[in-house]
Chain A
Amino acid sequence: MKAAVLVFPGINRERDMARSLQLVSGKEAAMVWHTDRELPKGTDLVVIPGGFSYGDYLRCGAIAARSPVMEAVRKHADKGGLVLAVCNGFQIACEAGLLPGVLMRNARMKFMCKEVHMRVERSDTPFTRRYNAGSVIRVPVAHGEGNYVADAETLARLEGENLVAFRYASADGVVDPHFNGSMNAIAGILSEKLNVLGLMPHPENHVDPIVGPTDGRRLFESLIETLEAA
């Protein structure tokens, strides 16, 4: 695995992400500044981490989505390269057009900072192959704008093509449609070619047993397995 973690002004979860990548893969991730026009040679995974890029000015992720490095990320994704976009990264990926839809203010106007459960919708993707489809995992969330919205046509396409990767749910797997207002309780979606995953929760924070649950670890193991098989 040769991961590149993007760094934008105002991002604050890039170190958590780099640490988790290192912990699970044993390899150090490259930190890539937003003004770079190219990814390090041989990059096989781009990670867009969480935080508050550009202070969430204009719209969450809007300015970061238009920075020079994103052109390189778009090329990487077009060639089928893997992109993991978490939290603000998910917002950036949507604003950049790597994923459809948009993340709006949480329906109850609250910043949600807690542990949630989400249901893994499918296990045949590069990001989820180490999970069982239908299993419920525990992950932290920390967002004010995680309310996934798309037009009816896009939503129907996401559901029709099974591109919803994770949904907010109860501990026993019953979908929770009222968590933050997200349409169809969507917590994470995949691109058509299954090589881009965007999700609001933070799997990178549940990787090390020293901090508690390790349900996020399998996501990184899935990526490693995918890249080793390639």
Chain B
Amino acid sequence: MKARVIVTLKPGILDPQGKAIENALHSLGVEGVDTVRQGKIFEIELAAADKAKAEAKLKEAAEKLLSNTVIENYRVEIL
């Protein structure tokens, strides 16, 4: 089974990297970009019998390691 875990910064957390990318886009002349926030995508292949079990495993992975819930939110997508 293939899945994705998407980790993003919580709203309100300062994101200096996103800000630098935003500024770089502006200086490249890419117009209409208001804000950029940087996150992470984990592409995961896992052996799981059904979707519910896979989701539970991925949530465990996200809680235990992939995200730091002090500053980040995560969501799981089964592909």
Contact = CB atoms under 8 A, between A and B. Distances in A.
Given A58-B65, A66-B65, A151 B70 contact: yes
A108 interface: yes
Contacts of B13: 104, 149
B10 to A, nearest CB: 9
Interface residues of A, number: 20
Secondary structure dominating the interface of A? loop
A62 B14 contact: no
Nearest to A95: B68
Contact of B16 (A63, A101, A105, A150): A105
Interface in A58-101: 58-59, 62-63, 66, 95, 100-101
B68 A59 contact: yes
Contact of A181 (B16, B20, B66, B70): B16
Interface string B17-34: 100100000000000000
Contacts of B17: 105, 109
A106 interface: yes
A62 B16 contact: no
Size category of the B interface is 10 to 19
Contacts of B70: 100-102, 149-151
A43 B16 CA distance: 40
B67 to A, nearest CB: 9
B68 A66 contact: no
Contacts of A181: 14, 16
A151 B71 CA distance: 8
Given A58-B65, A66-B64, A66-B65, A149 B16 contact: no
Most chain B CB within a 10 A radius of its CB, from A58, A100, A101, A181: A58
A170 to B, nearest CB: 23
Given A102-B71, A150-B70, A151-B70, A109 B16 contact: yes
A116 interface: no
Contacts of A109: 16-17, 20
Given A109-B20, A149-B13, A181-B14, A102 B65 contact: no
Interface of B: 13-14, 16-17, 20, 64-66, 68, 70-71
